[in-house]
A and B are shown apart, each in its own frame.
Chain A
Amino acid sequence: MFELLGIPPQALFGQLLLGLINGAFYAMLSLGLAVIFGMLNVINFTHGAQYMMGAFAAWLLLGILGIPFWVSLVVAPVIVGLFGIVLEKVLLKRIYHLDHLYGFLLTFGLALVIEGLFQWKWGSSGAPYPNPIPGGFNLGFMFLPTYRAFVVVAALVICLATWYGIERTRLGAYLRAATENPTLVRAFGINVPRLITLTYGLGVGLAALAGVLAAPIQQVSALMGVNLVLVVFAVVVIGGMGSIMGSIVTGFGLGLIEGLTKVFYPPASNTVIFVVMALVLLIKPAGLFGQTK
């Protein structure tokens, strides 16, 4: 077998795959954050908690009702998305007229409440979720578990579908128009408040979908989204929230960078994304895909 800079290929490709999977989650989550921010002007701090709720919904559906993974993949995001819609209707819509800061604080408080309640009910140690497609392929230079390959492909499909939905469909056009100028769009007879509610439900559903995909890989636990959401914030700062495609590319790219760091200099693997953020702030403060206002 060949070696690259003294690193055995199994280790290199193994970490690259892990990086790609992490990147898939960064991409899906930062996408949801960007979509919500574009429409609601709120940074959804509850995103990590809603990701966790998606994983929990799948786990509970399986444990209590025996509903298999493939059904949960659709049902769990719908349940959590509906929960998001209730949150928006009851709480979030009261603060749109205020400074961004308050949306941040409100969703932060909500995340504490949700994560605290799940921790109280189910503890923080976490529960395993059975792998729906065990097995894998031997590619010669590495072993590729089928489910992990599926996650990467599924995430790509989800991201591209979201991009298509927003950039290429009529509903997406309404959304973009309402982001630019809500008053004018309302004057055309489009129900903007409903559009906002729908967007939030969609963004939350996206987070929950990521959570369902993560369930068989990670332990399903109340705190699984806590650190993730902080990394995703850094991803969003790096990419800038202006562009959907930008979020996708940045998410996957940073996952890969993290994976490579794990191979070449493991101690920095936790912090490399933040270092990249600092560099981007120095060179292009608006973010890689952001526009300066």
Chain B
Amino acid sequence: MTTQRVGYALLIVLALVAPTFAYPVFLMKALCFALFACAFNLLLGYAGLMSFGHAMFFGMAGYFYGHVVKAWDMAPELGLLAGVAGAALLGLVTGALAIRRQGIYFAMITLAFAQMVYFFCIQAPFTGGEDGLQGIPRKALLGGLIPIKDDKVLYYVVLAIFLFGYATIYRVIYSPFGQVLKAIRDNEQRALSLGYEADRYKLLAFVLSAGLAGLAGATKAMVQQFATLTDVAASTSGEVVLMALVGGLGTIIGPVVGAFIIITMQNYLAATGEFVLVIQGAIFVVIVLAFRKGVVGELAEWWKRRRAG
């Protein structure tokens, strides 16, 4: 496990010096999506639950953050808290219904609920409809101690939030709770016969994942200072699946890698318009057919083979 530790140390050093050579707003956006993808992966990779509606937590949390900070003129910490709590609550309601069906139905149900939330957001007055919430002020954190108007300062705040989220997920996966989740993923009947109430574990995993997706969404609203319909749309739900898939499902660092790849790609291809979608679709097809383990999964496999042979 020392290789892993060295790897993490290198990554953290890289993350600390990154703003000196990369555009901080881009890095922050990528970190938000990385946390979002990790939250999604907690559910699919470790509990075997495929949510195709995770954008509802991500996007709604952005609206909650914006509303608390802008309309209610409260501190950004409260905005983040509202984002997490709101998303977790939404996760509790939709999750309790969705886990009543299994497998592919679960994916369709979450997708349908996300679409319902999307239609709700178009009409509800507090989301600003088609315009979204704009000009959310960047107020200083911790009662004025940390001014986040400067992108470079904000970057370290976002990095801290990301690391907090990542550490939470790491802790969950390697806890007894995480082990039970994996057992349910691999053989639900057996886990049930051993006395684990599978539905309760699934629901808790769903709520956790929703809350963390909410943390990512609220943080994104803090960075970009707006919340729009794009973040609750079905395309965003698809994007987060793509990120986790590209990086490697069920690998803890995979979704982070996937998020950086996809966000970078979108950055470079933004000018080509519809082609971003075409290329994303093509990546889905290629990954499903040929590289189901994703970048990190395939690399780990290669590394194992090299050491063995």
**Per-residue A-contact encoding for B271-291, CB less than 8 Å = 1, 0 else:** 001111110111111001100
In the bound complex, do residue A109 and residue B107 qualify as a contact, i.e. CB atoms below 8 Å apart? no
Tell yes or no: A177 within 8 A of B by CB: no
In the bound complex, do residue B288 and residue A281 qualify as a contact, i.e. CB atoms below 8 Å apart? no
In the bound complex, do residue B281 and residue A233 qualify as a contact, i.e. CB atoms below 8 Å apart? no
Tell yes or no: A271 within 8 A of B by CB: yes
Tell yes or no: A152 within 8 A of B by CB: no
Tell yes or no: A189 within 8 A of B by CB: no
Partner of B119, one of A100, A104, A110, A270: A270
Partner of A110, one of B100, B104, B245, B285: B285
Tell yes or no: A66 within 8 A of B by CB: no
Distance of B92 from chain A, by nearest CB (Å): 14
Measured CA separation A145–B90 after assembly (Å): 43
In the bound complex, do residue B108 and residue A112 qualify as a contact, i.e. CB atoms below 8 Å apart? no
- Residues of chain A lying within 8 A (CB to CB) of residue B147: none
Contact stretch, chosen from B23-31, B57-65, B110-118, B170-178: B110-118
In the bound complex, do residue B282 and residue A113 qualify as a contact, i.e. CB atoms below 8 Å apart? yes
Measured CA separation A108–B235 after assembly (Å): 11
- Residues of chain A lying within 8 A (CB to CB) of residue B112: 230, 233-234, 237, 274, 277
Question: How many pairs, one residue from A and one from B, have CB atoms within 8 Å of each other in the complex?
Answer: 117
Measured CA separation A286–B109 after assembly (Å): 12
Partner of A230, one of B100, B234, B245, B280: B234
Partner of B284, one of A112, A278, A285: A112
Contact stretch, chosen from A3-11, A115-123, A155-163, A197-205: A115-123
In the bound complex, do residue B116 and residue A274 qualify as a contact, i.e. CB atoms below 8 Å apart? yes
- Residues of chain B lying within 8 A (CB to CB) of residue A181: none
In the bound complex, do residue B113 and residue A236 qualify as a contact, i.e. CB atoms below 8 Å apart? no
- Interface size on A, as a range, is 35 or more
Most buried by A among B109, B245, B277, B288: B288
In the bound complex, do residue A109 and residue B285 qualify as a contact, i.e. CB atoms below 8 Å apart? yes
In the bound complex, do residue B285 and residue A237 qualify as a contact, i.e. CB atoms below 8 Å apart? no
- Residues of chain A lying within 8 A (CB to CB) of residue B115: 227, 230-231, 234, 274
**Per-residue B-contact encoding for A265-293, CB less than 8 Å = 1, 0 else:** 00100110011011001100110000000
- Residues of chain A lying within 8 A (CB to CB) of residue B111: 230, 233
In the bound complex, do residue A120 and residue B278 qualify as a contact, i.e. CB atoms below 8 Å apart? yes
Closest chain A residue to B98, Cβ basis: A281
Distance of B45 from chain A, by nearest CB (Å): 12
In the bound complex, do residue A112 and residue B109 qualify as a contact, i.e. CB atoms below 8 Å apart? no
Measured CA separation A119–B278 after assembly (Å): 10
Measured CA separation A231–B276 after assembly (Å): 25
Q: B-contacting residues of A (Cβ < 8 Å)?
A: 43, 91, 94-95, 98, 100-102, 104-106, 108-117, 119-120, 226-227, 230-231, 233-234, 236-237, 267, 270-271, 274-275, 277-278, 281-282, 285-286
29 contacting pairs across A/B (C-beta < 8 A): A43-B108, A91-B285, A95-B288, A101-B103, A105-B245, A109-B281, A109-B282, A112-B281, A113-B278, A116-B276, A117-B274, A119-B274, A120-B275, A120-B278, A227-B115, A230-B112, A230-B115, A236-B108, A270-B123, A271-B120, A274-B115, A274-B116, A274-B119, A277-B109, A278-B97, A281-B109, A282-B97, A282-B100, A285-B100
